[in-house]
Chain A
Amino acid sequence: MSSTEAKTTAKRDVGFVERFRESVGEDFTITTWVLIPIGIGINAIGGFIASTLKLPLFLDNIGTMLIGILAGPWAAMLTGGFANVIQAMLGNPVQLAFLPVPVAIGFVTGVLARRGWFDSPKKVVVPALVLTVVATLIATPIVVLVFGGVTSSGTSLVTATLVATGRSLVESAASAQLMVEFVDKGGSAFVAYFIGRSVPTRYLPPQGQDIYS
């Protein structure tokens, strides 16, 4: 390979990195920076709403998904990651081990929103299913390797029942996780879509205005 060739490849790489950085930077307007703590707040309030309505859900990723819809994947990844650390600061450090889950949820929601999958309530079925699968795939190894298959009481009860019927721990933990995530993440995707739609568009960042116009 001649030196000129090497130089052009190098230049192309720099161009790619630059473009990537620019596209990430564009997502982070001052509105986005102000929205991120709100997303984290919504994540933290989800549990309160679920218990007020006596629903067997966590609803602790609605804020992350909402930021994904309104401001894109990068801001949503940051929201998910930070929300997890904040939960630890508020007294629940166990969640720290699940850090990759909300980060992935943020990223996937943001990308799907950009591809137009949050344009109408019917289309939200697809993100609801994709997010269920993504959350299960990432959470199950963590549950098995770090926690020996045990998480919150509800999920553990399902896991224990499945283990009692003679299934392996991994299989039981994965099935329990899939059931819980299907209801929780699937439901959350719809909730995020509808609460985003209820906000007057002038309060939304550019991506949110596109999606809900």
Chain B
Amino acid sequence: MAERSIYQPGESVLHRLNPVTTFVLAACLSVVVFVVPDYRLPLGLSIVLLALVFVARVHRLVLRLVAALAIPFAFFLLLIHGVLNPGPQAEPLVTIGPVTVWEAGFETARLIFLRILVLILSFLLFATTSQPQRMRVALMEKGVPNKLAYVFIASLQIIPEMRTRAKSIADAQQARGLDIHADIRTRTGSIVALMAPLLIGTLIAANTRALALDARGFDASGERTFLYDVPDTGGERLLRYAAVVAVFGALAWRLLP
């Protein structure tokens, strides 16, 4: 059974990194850009991250997802901050017909947009280059309880399964007369008609799963051995510490007078 995250198989440097490292880096970068109130930092980081997206050869998927997430976001930011909310010192930046973009608002929008772009890029990079099974092993080697690791992997497995099941349930219920073009009250009531069979079906499958887990020693304690070997080099450890130090450095710089 395959886990379907947005992982893209590959051989790049980023694919070889320990998934814990990429995750820590993504989280720390995202925090740092929100602490530092200067748009040039997230701008620089976005360029570096974009370059890494191409290095990892995950650009086709990542750029498509970034476009889907960032374009509407940029539009509303510009609308709410740049056009509608000119702020106290209203200096017009550009005027196109009846629409004026204000300078202060544009600067706010630019900073927020670049911060979110760093967040999106770094986590997409993490998700596309970290194979779920490797991540599970890496997490357990870091002392994450195997039950949490199970939840993580099982969720990734169960979502595509449930999606297929939900589609066939939707078809089946429509064949029985469920009307997806009815008025809004009827449609709201139909949520339960679609979700209940999905839940019951999955629960019955889950009972089997619980038995299987029990048989495989889910509750067993003691040392486990893994099929995969996920290396964690000293350099990577250093990189992680550096990222955490950067977060505290940024916080101290921001908070101390």
**Known interface pairs A36-B151, A148-B81; A156-B163 also in contact (CB < 8 Å):** no
Segment at the interface with B among A6-14, A81-89, A111-119, A122-130: A81-89
Q: Which of A37, A54, A153 contacts B72 (CB 8 A)?
A: A153
The answer to whether B119 and A40 touch across the interface, beta carbons within 8 angstroms, is no
Q: Which of B73, B180, B198 contacts A53 (CB 8 A)?
A: B180
In the complex, which residue of chain A has the Cβ closest to the Cβ of B124? A93
Interface string of A1-34 (1 = CB under 8 A from B): 0000000000000000000000000001011011
Rounded to whole angstroms, the CA-CA distance of A31 and B157 in the bound complex is 18
Segment at the interface with B among A102-110, A133-141, A198-206: A198-206
In the complex, which residue of chain B has the Cβ closest to the Cβ of A202? B207
- Chain A residue numbers with a CB within 8 Å of B237 are none
**Known interface pairs A40-B158, A49-B195, A148-B109; A93-B166 also in contact (CB < 8 Å):** no
The answer to whether A34 and B162 touch across the interface, beta carbons within 8 angstroms, is no
- The tally of residues in A whose CB lies under 8 Å from a CB in B reads 59
Rounded to whole angstroms, the CA-CA distance of A50 and B147 in the bound complex is 31
- The tally of residues in B whose CB lies under 8 Å from a CB in A reads 70
Q: Which of B80, B124, B200, B202 contacts A198 (CB 8 A)?
A: B200
A94 beta carbon closer than 8 Å to chain B: yes
The answer to whether A94 and B191 touch across the interface, beta carbons within 8 angstroms, is no
Q: Which of A28, A30, A37, A78 contacts B218 (CB 8 A)?
A: A30
Q: Which of A41, A91, A195 contacts B6 (CB 8 A)?
A: A91
Rounded to whole angstroms, the CA-CA distance of A100 and B65 in the bound complex is 24
Most buried by B among A54, A93, A169: A93
- Chain B residue numbers with a CB within 8 Å of A52 are 170, 180, 194
Most buried by B among A62, A88, A150: A150
Segment at the interface with A among B96-104, B208-216, B221-229, B244-252: B208-216
The answer to whether B69 and A42 touch across the interface, beta carbons within 8 angstroms, is no
Interface residues of B in 85-138 (CB under 8 A from A): 85, 108-109, 112, 115-116, 119-120, 122-124, 127, 132
Rounded to whole angstroms, the CA-CA distance of A59 and B209 in the bound complex is 26
Q: Which of A34, A48, A94 contacts B206 (CB 8 A)?
A: A34
- Chain A residue numbers with a CB within 8 Å of B127 are 88-91, 93
7 A-B pairs with the lowest CB-CB distances in the bound complex, closest first: A93-B123, A198-B196, A37-B154, A148-B112, A156-B76, A40-B155, A41-B162
Q: Which residues of A contact B (CB under 8 A)?
A: 28, 30-31, 33-38, 40-42, 44-45, 48-50, 52-55, 59, 62, 66, 78, 82-83, 85-86, 88-94, 96-97, 146-150, 153, 156-157, 159-160, 163-164, 169, 187, 191, 194-195, 198-200, 203
Besides A91-B124, A96-B119, A149-B80, 17 other A-B contacts (C-beta < 8 A): A40-B158, A44-B159, A45-B159, A54-B180, A82-B152, A86-B159, A90-B5, A90-B156, A91-B6, A146-B115, A147-B112, A147-B116, A169-B80, A169-B85, A194-B196, A199-B196, A203-B200
